[in-house]
Amino acid sequence: MDSAAAEARLLVDVEGLSFGYGRTLVLEDVTLPIVEGDFLAVLGPNGSGKTTLLKTILGLLKPTSGTVRLMGEPVSSFRSWGRIGYVPQKATHFDPLFPASSREVVAMGLLAARPAFHRTTREEAENIRRALSLVGMEKEAERPIGRLSGGQQQRVFIARTLVRKPCLLFLDEPTTGVDAGAEEQFYDLLASLNVNEGITIVLVTHDIGIANRHITKVACLNRRLVYHGSHAEFCGSKTLQDMLAGGHHLISHHH
């Protein structure tokens, strides 16, 4: 019974995962369980396969070998995409003149599951409002997305995933283009979603300068998984020392 309960809490199960372009392996034999409630940071230098791992978990790339299960279901037959939020690395790389208000961007999150000609219901409108208020962007609802700061845009993109009430949220380098002052508040927001809303968070980054106050687990990736464990142990581990000695800018990174 205990094992069944433990299994139910396993949201993502990556086993023996490899991915390559031609003969060059970008990921090699990665095994990584993600458990409900984790605030996991996937760390690694540029080109270490972090984004590839994320895209493979999300079914956007097909692994060369190994398996990915989402909430117990193989990723190829997984359909409950509403339970999973994803903010891609290039989310903020849209045309700054794109005519969409913050509210319209958040509303996009509702759509995938809706039939054609669906009109927004009062309940959905309330969900949009609540998602915007959770990320502190309620007042900017009618402003065009392109006129917000990088940090504000990231908040709107997170709100877009929140309208579908996800239990798991993936963020790929979310602080790119967010200024240092706003970065800390941004991580505070993620921590509050993790603790107060019970959302499991997986954050891909090459920079843990500020995130490390909040994260509970760390996975270090350099083609292979070189470390996976609690954040506290990671700080005293040889992996961190090696990475620092190797010149990987894992702690503080100046752009």
Partner 1 sequence: MAAFLEYAFLQRALVVGLLIAVACAVLGVFLVLRRDAMIGHGLSHITFAGVALGLLVRRLPLAVAFVFSVAAAWALVKLKSKAGLHGDTALAVLSSGGLALGIVLASVAKTYDAGLLSYLFGEILAISKGEVLLAAALTAAVVGIVLGLLNKLLFVTFDRESARASGLAVERLDTVLTVLTAVTIVLGMRVVGILLVSALIVIPAAAALQVATSFRGALLVAAAFAALSVVAGLMAAYALDLPASGAIVLVGLVLFGGATAFRARPT
111 binds partner 1 (CB under 8 A): yes
User: From the CB of 46, what's the least distance to partner 1, in Å?
Assistant: 19
114 binds partner 1 (CB under 8 A): yes
d(CA 176, CA 50): 15
Nearer to partner 1, 100 or 210 (CB): 100
d(CA 157, CA 232): 30
98 binds partner 1 (CB under 8 A): yes
Rg of the chain over all Cα atoms, to the nearest angstrom: 18
Nearer to partner 1, 117 or 122 (CB): 117
Nearer to partner 1, 88 or 209 (CB): 88
In the set 1, 3, 23, 117, which binds partner 1 (CB under 8 A)? 117
227 binds partner 1 (CB under 8 A): no
Residue by residue, DSSP assigns 55-84 as HHHTTSS--SEEEEEETTEEGGG---GGGE
Nearer to partner 1, 21 or 98 (CB): 98
Residue by residue, DSSP assigns 188-229 as HHHHHHHHHS--EEEEEES--TTGGGT--EEEEEESEEEEEE
In the set 30, 41, 107, 171, which binds partner 1 (CB under 8 A)? 107
Contact 91, 157 (CB under 8 A): yes
In the set 9, 62, 90, 139, which binds partner 1 (CB under 8 A)? 90
Choose one: 2-10, 111-119, 131-139, 234-242; the region binding partner 1 (CB under 8 A).
111-119
x-marked contacts with partner 1 along 15-54 as a string, rule CB under 8 A: ----------------------------------------
Binding to partner 1 (CB under 8 A): which residues in 52-71?
Answer: 58-60
CA-based nearest residue to 239, from 14, 66, 39, 48: 48
In the set 11, 32, 56, 160, which binds partner 1 (CB under 8 A)? 160
User: From the CB of 62, what's the least distance to partner 1, in Å?
Assistant: 13
116 binds partner 1 (CB under 8 A): yes
Question: Under the rule (CB under 8 A), what is the footprint of partner 1?
Answer: 58-60, 79, 81-82, 84, 86-88, 90-91, 94-95, 97-101, 104-105, 107-114, 116-118, 142, 144, 157, 160, 164
